[in-house]
Amino acid sequence: MKRLSVIASVTIILTIMISACQQQGDQAIESRWAGETVQEAVHSFENQIGGFDQTMMETNYRYNELYWAGVDENWGYAEYQLDEMLGSLEKGFIRRPERQASSAQFVDQAAPRLMRAIEAGDKDAFMESFTRFAASCNTCHAMEDVAFIQMIVPEIRTSLVRF
């Protein structure tokens, strides 16, 4: 979670810098590490924020939390995790728009199916949908040439949240 807050902080700083410098062109700036010009600073911040790997780190965390929320029938927490996961993916698509096509079946089919099970409070439907959800992750990974990343239904609980 600490890494996510660092990413959020860098994003805010980058937004402020871009807004402040839009009218100033590529003038020199004072910076300890980001660069000497606005363009260098933007490039440094983009490198700090990272690409889709950052999105996948957050998605992995939320995937696990989502699963255990369903096991516990903590439907509010499950809905929260799925919403946050989809929001993280949307932000990732801004950084890597080419990833969006591969994830369409996940975002447009698997996630809504899982959300319906959550909204219904149906544990059996949730468990079935979650298995399909995991398979949908793997389909996307195969389409992105990272089929060596295989999602499974979690077997070991790492979540500290209990319901």
Instruction: Tell me: pLDDT of 19 over 70.
Output: no
Q: Do 118 and 126 contact (CB within 8 A), yes or no?
A: yes
- The predicted model scores a pTM of 0.76
User: Which letter does DSSP use for residue 106 in this model?
Assistant: I
Q: How many domains does the chain have?
A: 2
- Tell me: do 122 and 43 sit in the same domain: no
Instruction: Tell me: pLDDT of 20 over 70.
Output: no
- Tell me: do 40 and 62 sit in the same domain: no
Q: Which of 123, 110, 118 is nearest to 151 (CA)?
A: 110
Structural domain of residue 129, as residue ranges? 52-143
- Tell me: do 103 and 126 sit in the same domain: yes
In terms of pLDDT, which residue wins out, 28 or 131?
131
- Tell me: do 100 and 134 sit in the same domain: yes
- Round to whole Å and give the CA distance between 93 and 87: 10
- Tell me: do 61 and 120 sit in the same domain: yes
Report pLDDT digits (tens) over 82-105.
Answer: 999 999 999 999 989 999 999 999
Q: Do 26 and 16 contact (CB within 8 A), yes or no?
A: no
- Tell me: do 67 and 138 sit in the same domain: yes
Distance of CA 26 to the CA centre of its chain: 32
Instruction: Tell me: pLDDT of 17 over 80.
Output: no
Mean of the per-residue pLDDT values for the chain? 86
Place of tokens 């070991």: 156
- Tell me: do 6 and 18 sit in the same domain: yes
**Range with the poorest average pLDDT among 33-42, 58-67, 80-89:** 33-42
Q: Look at residue 163 in the predicted model and tell me its pLDDT.
A: 79
Place of tokens 């029938």: 73
User: Which letter does DSSP use for residue 28 in this model?
Assistant: B
Average pLDDT estimate for 43-61: 85
CATH number, domain with residue 89: 1.20.120
User: Which letter does DSSP use for residue 1 in this model?
Assistant: -
